Amino acid sequence: MFPSINSIKKPNKSFNLLHLETQEQYFLSLKVALIPSARSDEIRGKLHLCSRSLVFEPKSSQLPLMKMKYSNGLFMKVIKNFEPKSLGLLLSIRWGPQLMQEDIDQLDLASILNQQKGEQKSNELLDKLYNRNRKNTIQLSCNCFFIKVDKLFIVNRNPISPYITETCDDNILFTISKSNSKQILIRFLKLYQGINQAEDEFTFINQTIQQTLNDSLVEHKQNVGSEGHKIEFVHKVKLIKPEGSIFGLFSIQREEILQFIPLINSPSGKTLQFMFTDIKYFLKYRYMFKNNGIEFWMYNKKRSYLFVFDDQTTQESVFKYFQKKASKHCLSALTKEKIAEEWTNGNMSNFDYLMALNTLANRSFNDLSAYPVFPWVIAEYNEKDFNVNSPTFFRDLSKPMGALNKHRLQKYKAFYKDQLKDKKQDPKPYLYPTHYSSPGTVVYYMIRKIPEFVIKLQNGVFGPTDRIFRGIDSTWFTTLNLHADSKELIPEFYGLDSDFLVNCDKLELGITQDGEVIDDAVIPPWADNAPDFLAKMRIALESPYVQANLPLWIDLIFGNKASGNEAIQNDNLFYPYTYAENVNWDKCKTDIERQALEIQVTEFGQVPLQLFQSAHPQRKLKIQGNLKQSEDEKRELKQQNQNLQNKIQKLTQQIQESQDNDQVLQLQAQLGALQWENEKLKFNLETFKQEMLTNKEVIQTFNSQFDQEEFDKNGFDFLNDDSLLDSSKKPIS
């Protein structure tokens, strides 16, 4: 089933882009060994050169990463042909600024140490971090990096935790492995020198990236040509991933081999290669309000690949090439009108339809700045009753989140009127200071599953405890009442994977002001556990109330009330730069202006591509001929329900008695599946009860599409239904 709502994978424990700051780039790595002290064994690993820091990654994932920022007075010297006998002297000297300016190779270390008698130091911090008694000694002379820095940022990987900041007075020594090529070492040193001498970091980084891409472009063409292969085309490109963007080359060869060759910001350096026949679908993509991307879905991959080209001309050229090769697989032939018709006629679930609209509106799981958005539909998280038959149980879908609290809305409107009085108001007047979907919103909800994302966005910490996702009710309360909060939900709240609600890694998320330890997300009283909560959220999403009112929410997000005068009249106006029409990249005259605009667009939300110009049609209610069930059928359902209850009780007892962790995990998975089945039966029983009381035909509000096994077999896959590919209508591009 596409799209997968488990697209953001839990990152592995090796060094990756999440260990960098926002806007920081990774360049290349050297194999090195850290010498913590004269009496400690060497710690082998890699030294990663990044645009704002050096990061040491030990080979063992049990040991922490060590991040050294240039802004913290980092000073690095290369020592050539370092003699092992001088190790103790080098690490014991107190290196002041004046001494660091000297050529260390030419210094008489013994004499300097003798002059500092009584002031000798030891590497206490490094010894504490990497405490290993020396087993092997350095036998041969080697080249080294000698580093002094005021602060170290310690990145624990097992378990994951916020960075630990340590004041550093240690002498840091790395021996450089002879397995590094001379070319790599020279490039490492040149880049390090260039970064630290550049007057403008942003300009230098951009120039370095472009120079690397241009040189590699020429080299790639020469290499492929010399091997006897013909290139259809090769372009500079960015691969967009949730953790960051990777710069590289996008190449198609005559043999219909598609390659992405990573060059900048790819710690793994792994080349992606596919045959043309691996491609399932592709669609144009608007990235950062620029029409320059294409998203590809593969048959053998769960996640899509989002590539962004230099400009729209290149995008069009590449897109037309793929259109000629496989027109059937081109999603531009999939019209929003046909999708809307399928939903209106009752042939698509609400969940599938919302996923389809998000995809067509250029919302991708690869792009945190334009992540798929789903609505809050339930408004009651305190009561024990899960009553989808009561309208008061639901949120008003005709209003944006910011307008649900009328008292707060009045303050927003007063603020808006004050802006209108200022004739020179720049930017344009707006109601809400924050958007309903942004990278911060996504990682807020996903902190338990992908804490590294939060640590990156929060510059090394989880953030204040009052800003951590504690539970459903507290989040609903703050979203309704806080001035700068109007966030909607993400698709995961209506999926089957509850990992993002459970603190599986036992993260230390903090303690509230009331002394409460933040652990698993607190779920409402009407749900028994996290899987049960998601099951009921999905039931609510497909309920008659939401069926009838969902078009009103679609109008606000994807339709005629998303922008312009309709947005103003419906209290749906956000900060100007969240709208594509207000973002003009050509007006950026300097790199600093462009960087500021990039930060605004990527971090503070984007209004989706508008799909509908008029009010969305209502769903046609599918009335079944005779839904009145016999007493025998009702008794049969009750018996099934009782059998499930017995199985659930038995499994619960087995879990409590079992001492085997693996067995407990298996039993818990079985228990979750049974609870899901039980919820469906309870819902159907309630439906039959109402039918027999009213003796009327009613709408079937729940069916087997919520069973994952049946869903995979028979569920509506809007990307696999050829009847939707209507070439007679104008394509979406």
Band of pLDDT at residue 107, cut at 50, 70 and 90: confident
Q: What is the pLDDT of residue 393?
A: 96
pLDDT tens-place string over residues 521-561: 999 999 999 999 999 999 999 999 999 999 999 999 999 99
Give domain limits for the chain: 17-181, 206-333, 341-603, 631-724
Q: Tell me the two tokens of residue 513.
A: 């002001």
pLDDT tens-place string over residues 52-77: 999 999 999 889 999 999 999 999 99
User: What phi and psi, each to the nearest 5 degrees, are found at residue 649?
Assistant: -65, -40
d(CA 31, CA 45): 6
416 close to 429: Cβ distance less than 8 angstroms: yes
pLDDT tens-place string over residues 236-268: 999 999 999 999 999 988 767 889 999 999 999
288 close to 369: Cβ distance less than 8 angstroms: yes
Q: Tell me the two tokens of residue 516.
A: 């409460």
d(CA 649, CA 646): 5
Q: What is the pLDDT of residue 709?
A: 37
Residues 6+ apart with CB under 8 A from 227: none
Calculate mean pLDDT across residues 504-517.
88
Band of pLDDT at residue 491, cut at 50, 70 and 90: very high
Percent of the chain predicted with pLDDT > 70 = 82
User: In angstroms, what is the C-alpha Rg of the chain?
Assistant: 30
pLDDT tens-place string over residues 337-372: 889 999 999 888 999 999 999 999 999 999 999 999
510 close to 462: Cβ distance less than 8 angstroms: yes
pLDDT tens-place string over residues 132-154: 655 555 555 688 999 999 999 99
- Sign, CA dihedral 430-435-440-444, equals positive
Closest to 492 (Cα-Cα) out of 548, 455, 526, 441: 441
DSSP conformation class of 268 = S
User: Is the bond into 427 cis (omega within 30 degrees of 0)?
Assistant: yes
Band of pLDDT at residue 691, cut at 50, 70 and 90: very low
Residue of 657 and 185 predicted with greater confidence? 185
100 close to 161: Cβ distance less than 8 angstroms: no
pLDDT tens-place string over residues 638-659: 777 778 778 777 877 777 777 7
Q: What is the pLDDT of residue 141?
A: 63
Residue of 87 and 32 predicted with greater confidence? 32
132 close to 48: Cβ distance less than 8 angstroms: no
CA dihedral of residues 669, 531, 159, 48 (deg, nearest 10): 100
Residues in the chain: 733
Bridge partners of residue 249, in order along the sequence: 236, 261
Calculate mean pLDDT across residues 199-226.
87
Band of pLDDT at residue 562, cut at 50, 70 and 90: very high
d(CA 112, CA 95): 10
Residue 401 has pLDDT above 90, yes or no: yes
Judged by average pLDDT, the poorest of 219-228, 295-304, 641-650, 695-704 is: 695-704
Mean pLDDT rounded to a whole number for the chain: 84
Q: What is the pLDDT of residue 9?
A: 78
Judged by average pLDDT, the poorest of 4-13, 16-25, 529-538, 691-700 is: 691-700
Residue of 647 and 26 predicted with greater confidence? 26
pLDDT tens-place string over residues 585-608: 999 988 888 889 999 999 999 999
pLDDT tens-place string over residues 311-325: 999 999 999 988 887
Judged by average pLDDT, the poorest of 88-102, 237-251, 385-399, 437-451 is: 88-102
The topology under which CATH files domain 206-333 is PH-domain like (2.30.29)
Q: SS3 for 481?
A: helix
Bridge partners of residue 65, in order along the sequence: 155
- Sign, CA dihedral 493-497-498-500, equals negative
22 close to 275: Cβ distance less than 8 angstroms: no
Band of pLDDT at residue 47, cut at 50, 70 and 90: very high
d(CA 177, CA 47): 11
Residue 703 has pLDDT above 60, yes or no: no
Band of pLDDT at residue 726, cut at 50, 70 and 90: very low
Pairing of strands 53-58, 43-50: antiparallel
Q: What is the DSSP string of 403-458?
A: GSSHHHHHHHHHHHHHHHH-TT-SS---SBSS-SS-HHHHHHHTTTT-HHHHHHHT
Calculate mean pLDDT across residues 721-731.
44
Residue 707 has pLDDT above 50, yes or no: no
Q: What is the pLDDT of residue 473?
A: 95
Structure-token match 């002001």, residue found:
513
Q: What is the pLDDT of residue 702?
A: 34
SS3 of 208-234: HHHHHHHHHHHHHHHHHHHCCCCEEEE
d(CA 460, CA 153): 9
Band of pLDDT at residue 733, cut at 50, 70 and 90: very low
The topology under which CATH files domain 341-603 is Neurobeachin; Chain: A, domain 1 (1.10.1540)
Q: SS3 for 551?
A: helix
d(CA 589, CA 7): 37
